[in-house]
Structure 1
Amino acid sequence: MRLLVLCTHNSARSQMAEAWIRHLAREMGVDLEVHSAGTEKTFVKEEAKRVMAEVGVDLGGHFSKTLLEVPNPWEFDLVLTVCDAAREACPAYPAQTVKRHVSFPDPSGKPLEEWRRVRDALGRMARYLVENLRAGRIPTDEELREAAR
């Protein structure tokens, strides 16, 4: 299965979600190809790298990219938007693509504690998503939102 996490700048939330999902899929033995992108391209924020490193997940090789920089950008089985702006700007995908949306607050410009809260919520959502994908089902938006709490 190919999964895309989409956000506005691909600098924090989508990067952390991509890393969580990839890490947990590997941990649970789930065959997932995971990418992230932004509707705009910037850079991966140092705070995202720092808080993910605290939980043993490395963002060192990550870089910000737009959808057109992702391999086969129109061939994803699941597209997950993690901010409202990306949901609004999300392009139309082929009919076989499933879209899910869970909005997370932008921690940019906030203390590290806020970054940790967002990281942990993304981690809870990612774990629930991967567990369900391992069981052969794609959870609903509401189920993913509830898991993130």
Structure 2
Amino acid sequence: MIRPYNILFLCTGNSARSILGETLATTLSHGRFIGYSAGSKPKKFVHPIALKLAREMGYPLELLRSKTWDEFGRHDAPHMDFIITVCDSAAGEECPYWLGHPTTAHWGFSDPAVVIGSEQEIWDAFRKVEMDLRNRIELLLDLPMDKLDHLQIKDELHSIHQQCN
């Protein structure tokens, strides 16, 4: 088997959306992808609903923590094949230099962690992000990665986001 692809999901706070991306990429791919997450200004905690969803997916909770994206810009960090921003503010920020020139894309989602409302409305916001991410990641998993070059993969990542909007 070819080594798994590493995929880093970025947002500002690294407490909800990027955490769900990490969890979904790892659990849905059955070893083809290893998901990671980070934030430009991490909140220092993972949102409790994101933790509950990760537990439902069978993801090891001890792997989840809110962390800065600087960890993944260091020379000893895992090599990233893909970097996907999941919030508009992180997409517009100046990112660290990523070794190896990973394929990048922006898949923007509303932040469920800032929803104000009933418990059900907050859960619904998290479930929506989970399902939207799940749809995109499943389409990513269907791509024939070994047959696509860097530019084609970048185009496919953009197309996936457009299809799901």
Q: TM-score, normalised by structure 1?
A: 0.81
Q: Which amino acid in structure 2 is aligned with residue 6 of structure 1?
A: L
Q: Deviation per CA, 1:75-118, whole angstroms, max 9, x where unpaired?
A: 32211111111111133435732111110111113221111111
Q: Is the 8 A contact 2:21 2:35 kept in 1?
A: no
Change beyond 3 A, Cα 1:91–1:69: closer
Distance 1:122 1:37, change over 3 A: same
Aligned 1:110-149 pairs, distance under 5 A: 110=115, 111-132=122-143, 136-137=147-148, 138=153, 140-149=156-165
Instruction: Tell which structure's C-alpha radius of gyration is larger.
Output: 2
What amino acid does structure 2 have at the position aligned with 1:106? D
Please give the secondary structure, in 2, of the residue aligned with 1:34: strand
Higher relative contact order (Cα pairs below 8 Å, separated by 6+ residues): 1
Q: Which runs of 5+ in 1 are unaligned?
A: none
Do the aligned partners of 1:123 and 1:148 also contact (CA within 8 Å) in 2?
A: no
Distance 1:46 1:147 in 2: 30
Q: Comparing both structures, which one devotes a greater share of its residues to helix? A: 2
Residues 1:96 and 2:77 are matched in the alignment: no
Regions of 4+ moved over 6 Å = none
Contact kept in structure 2, 1:6 and 1:80, CA below 8 Å: yes
Structural RMSD (CA) = 2.4
CA–CA separation in structure 2 for the residues paired with 1:133 and 1:10:
29
Structure 2 unaligned regions, length at least 5: 116-121
Shift of 1:18: 0.7
Mapping of 1:74-85 within 5 angstroms?
Answer: 75-85=79-89
Residue aligning to 2:40: 39
Q: Which stretch of structure 1 is more off in the superposition, 99-108 or 88-97?
A: 88-97
Match of 2:21 among 17, 20, 25: 17
- Contact 1:124–1:147 (CA<8 Å) still a contact in 2? no
Gap change, CA 1:133 and 1:18, over 3 Å in 2: farther
Aligned sequence identity (%): 28
Q: Secondary structure, in 3 states, of the residue corresponding to 1:64? A: coil
The number of residues matched between the two structures is 145
